[in-house]
Amino acid sequence: MTKKLFNDFERVSSKQWKQKIQADLKGADYNDTLIWKTNEGIDVKPFYHADGFKEPFTSISNSQKWSICQSIFVQDVALSNKKATDAIERGAESIQFTLPNNTIILSELLKNIDLDKTTLYFNLQFLDADFVKTLSLLPTKAGIHINTDIIGNLAKTGNWFTNLKEDHQQFDAIIKNTKSFSVNIDLYQNAGATITQQLAYALAHTNEYLNHLESTEKQTLQVTFYATVNTNYFFEIAKLRALRLLFHSLVKEYNIEANCNIFVTPTKRNKTIYDYNTNLLRTTTECMSAILGEADTICNLAYDAIYHKDNEFGERIARNQLLILKHESYFDVVENASEGSYYIETLTNQLAEKALELFKDIESNGGFLNQLKEGTIQRKIKESAAKEQEQFDAGEIVLLGTNKHPNENDKMKDDLELFPFVKTNIRKTLIQPIIEKRLAENLEQERLKTENLTN
């Protein structure tokens, strides 16, 4: 068959499409009716066309296939090892261990785990270069990623692990041993930052480390970004693509080779305790965004993670969501599936451009660390979070089962194993910490009070 199907049809320009839409609107204003104005300052059009692209798409394909991760907090080494081996047997391809201290016996923790096939992520809640060196020497072909983000710890807690000098000395030793560092940007989204802010802060956060390192230490680096995604489906796909694009643009300016590894978890900001099964729907589309956005590793959030302790059922369902996407929905078959979509390509470019503009502003005003100390970053995130909260309270942002179509018979006060709200812990800090808060917290607290009055 040599004749192409569409050769008999005339090409329709974007101008012709717009004229047809305007005619169908019967006098209604095109911009007011069909243009969606977002918190990122991007006006989303009703359609996108090849006419909008004068240059070829910039390929940002990730050659690595995404892996399914299981997150485990190591409180008991033997139980954590059992949980890890069971998760691997049930489909997990990588494991993230959160270690609270440096007394963990690694040989017991990693017993019966094939280090040549299972990628390991170590999330350390302490700073110890010698322990990191021990981790880096583990015999593995699958890879090891060690999360020790000293600036991220400062932003989250308001304090260094020890102090600025000691933390940077430890950081330097870690770089020497591992040739890698991590950047935790999940904090920004969970606290209410816009996508533009998340990307700009990720870039400025990374730049603080690159500025600090000696030129010889910057060669062949691996940087792992820990990010979250929400249910703004196409924007989150574009966000992860823009993150990789911006990272490569940044390291190009330093004239170095560096790999970008993106570890993604669904955000907590839009999760709810009432009608909690809707969290399953949210995390499913969020994981889909992570896949199509070319994440390297995805660790799903259990539907009950914000109010229940770790449990086998919640973790199994979360893992199975990813297994279904991978093995039954074939989300691992097509590489870089979103490339070439006019809408996603446009969003990627617009988000990258706006983030780059904000990044330059941060750098011209002393850099990310300086703006953290001055409280500028915290203030900007608070402003964005307040605006988003107003939209949620007004019903413009909808969480089904919470601020729309709530089930008034749903009772939760006897089912809360964890405190699901912002905790007040008064302590002395060097800077104001960035606080994570869910959109539904105020509404949920009011409903819990009502439960207490009626029961």
- pLDDT tens profile 106-120: 999 999 999 999 999
- Separation CA 239–CA 40 (nearest Å): 11
Grade residue 217 by pLDDT with cuts at 50, 70 and 90.
low
- Separation CA 240–CA 298 (nearest Å): 12
**pLDDT attached to residue 336:** 81
Q: Domain total for the chain?
A: 1
Q: Tell me the pLDDT tens digit for each residue of 150-186.
A: 999 999 999 999 999 999 999 999 999 999 999 999 9
**pLDDT attached to residue 139:** 92
CATH number at residue 99: 3.20.20.240
Inside any domain, residue 308: yes
Does 385 or 214 have the greater pLDDT score? 385
Inside any domain, residue 56: no
Mean pLDDT of the chain: 93
- Separation CA 204–CA 367 (nearest Å): 7
Grade residue 210 by pLDDT with cuts at 50, 70 and 90.
very high
What number is the average pLDDT over the span 253-267?
94
Inside any domain, residue 77: yes
Inside any domain, residue 34: no
**pLDDT attached to residue 1:** 46
Domain, as residue range, for 298: 67-347
Long-range contacts of 106-114, Cβ-Cβ distance < 8 Å, separation of 24 or more: 106/134, 106/135, 106/138, 108/77, 108/78, 108/81, 109/74, 109/77, 109/80, 109/81, 109/84, 110/81, 110/138, 111/81, 111/85, 112/81, 112/85, 113/81, 113/84, 113/85, 113/88, 114/88
Q: How far is CA 281 from the centre of its chain?
A: 17
**pLDDT attached to residue 30:** 87
Q: Tell me the pLDDT tens digit for each residue of 35-85.
A: 999 999 999 989 888 887 777 677 766 667 899 999 999 999 999 999 999
Closest to 185 measured CA to CA, from 175, 172, 194: 194
**pLDDT attached to residue 6:** 66
Report whether 260 contacts 247 (CB < 8 A). Answer: yes
Inside any domain, residue 21: no
Inside any domain, residue 4: no
Q: Tell me the pLDDT tens digit for each residue of 386-415.
A: 999 999 999 999 999 999 999 989 999 999
Q: Is 175 helix (H, G, I), strand (E, B) or coil?
A: helix
What number is the average pLDDT over the span 364-381?
97
Inside any domain, residue 367: no
* CB contact set of 375 (below 8 Å; sequence gap of 6+): 431, 432
Inside any domain, residue 154: yes
Per-residue b/e over 63-88, b at no fewer than 16 CB within 10 Å? Answer: eeebbbbbbbbbeebeebbebbbebb
Q: State percent of the chain over pLDDT 70.
A: 95
